[in-house]
């Protein structure tokens, strides 16, 4: 039987990673290339002329025009970090190559840092992933489904009304051959026409052919200029619905990942971060080796976010 070429990719091995990013100087050069691919530009006056002040970890770039000084990490997610860049790069490597997910506790053990430090790094890297995918809109043929994270609380409501269940939408765009191409996972305030219409306008291109079950709110995708094709599911099982094969597969893989890697995840506060990480890795699954370099660039170019901002964003939910 032929091997699945995507699943059996070589990826980037640990020796390869250490060869490319094993020293502070190599990591610093990678950040410099990611932030200023055409050469340094002053973030204040956009001047190209500059000179370097200091050396090593305290190297600063000083603009010849306005005399403004900036570091390699200033203005990025790594701003004000006290950790070596090699630790950040190792975190990026581990998160990018973990197909089944990586918890902050596992990251802590791999990096040799405290749990709060590993947790914040994890959230910031997930934030960069979410930002990179946020502007992409699905097009062509798309399978759409509703799903929930979490379960029922003892003595609480059952079913969709459970207080502990967090609603989100899953959407998969397909190639002309009917294979999955791009994945979107987003929390929504609820499965209402208003919420789905708002989501569709932000995430679907006009003219997209959307296949969904008979849930009434999905008709709101038409407000985004999309064509809606509902299928009444009734008592049918997922295996009996080939028109939803790939979105059901993605949801199954997602829930397996969350259950296996994150044993005490507070879904209502932090689900958006982990959904973004899962989708980011899936959308770049065809080049597992190149995923490391791409994520380094995305982290280096993502705007800074302090811990209070990360937590407030999570607590805002959707």
pLDDT in tens, 134-154: 889 999 999 999 998 875 544
φ and ψ at residue 77, rounded to 5 degrees: -65, -20
- Contact (Cβ atoms closer than 8 angstroms) between residue 81 and residue 73: yes
CA distance 150 to 156: 13
CA distance 127 to 108: 18
pLDDT exceeds cutoff 50 at 28: yes
CA distance 73 to 87: 14
Among 55-64, 98-107, 125-134, 179-188, the minimum mean pLDDT is found in 55-64
pLDDT digits (tens, 9 = 90+) for 69-119: 888 898 899 998 999 999 999 999 999 988 777 888 999 999 999 999 999
Between 139 and 316, residue with greater pLDDT? 139
> What percent of the chain is modeled with pLDDT above 70?
84
Q: What is the mean pLDDT of the chain?
A: 85
pLDDT exceeds cutoff 60 at 2: no
Task: State mean pLDDT over 14-21.
Answer: 94
Amino acid 296: pLDDT: 95
Between 34 and 54, residue with greater pLDDT? 34
Quickly state the pLDDT bin for 264 (edges 50, 70, 90). low
């Amino acid at each position: 039987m032929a091997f699945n070429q995507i699943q059996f990719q070589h990826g980037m091995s640990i020796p390869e990673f250490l060869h490319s990013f094993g020293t502070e100087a190599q990591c610093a050069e990678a950040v410099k290339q990611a932030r200023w691919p055409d050469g340094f530009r002053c973030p204040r006056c956009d001047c190209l002329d500059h000179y370097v002040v200091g050396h090593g970890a305290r190297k600063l770039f000083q603009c010849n025009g306005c005399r403004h000084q900036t570091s390699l990490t200033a203005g990025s997610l790594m701003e004000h970090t006290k950790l070596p860049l090699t630790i950040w790069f190792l975190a990026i490597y581990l998160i990018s190559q973990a197909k089944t997910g990586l918890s902050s506790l596992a990251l802590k053990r791999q990096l040799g840092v405290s749990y709060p430090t590993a947790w914040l790094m994890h959230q910031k890297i997930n934030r960069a992933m979410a930002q990179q995918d946020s502007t992409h809109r699905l097009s062509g043929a798309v399978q759409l489904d509703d799903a929930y994270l979490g379960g029922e609380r003892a003595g609480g409501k059952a079913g969709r009304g459970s207080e502990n269940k967090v609603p989100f939408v899953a959407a998969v765009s397909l190639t002309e051959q009917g294979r999955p191409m791009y994945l979107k996972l987003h929390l929504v305030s609820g499965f209402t026409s208003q919420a789905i219409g708002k989501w569709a306008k932000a995430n679907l291109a006009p003219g997209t052919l959307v296949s969904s079950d008979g849930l009434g709110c999905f008709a709101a995708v038409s407000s985004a200029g999309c064509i809606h094709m509902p299928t009444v599911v009734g008592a049918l099982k997922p295996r009996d619905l080939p028109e939803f094969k790939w979105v059901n597969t993605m949801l199954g893989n997602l829930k397996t990942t969350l259950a296996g890697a994150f044993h005490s995840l507070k879904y209502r506060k932090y689900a958006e971060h982990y959904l973004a990480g899962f989708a980011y890795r899936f959308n770049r699954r065809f080049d597992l080796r190149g995923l490391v370099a791409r994520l380094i660039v995305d982290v280096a170019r993502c705007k800074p976010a302090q811990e209070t901002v990360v937590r407030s964003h999570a607590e805002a939910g959707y």
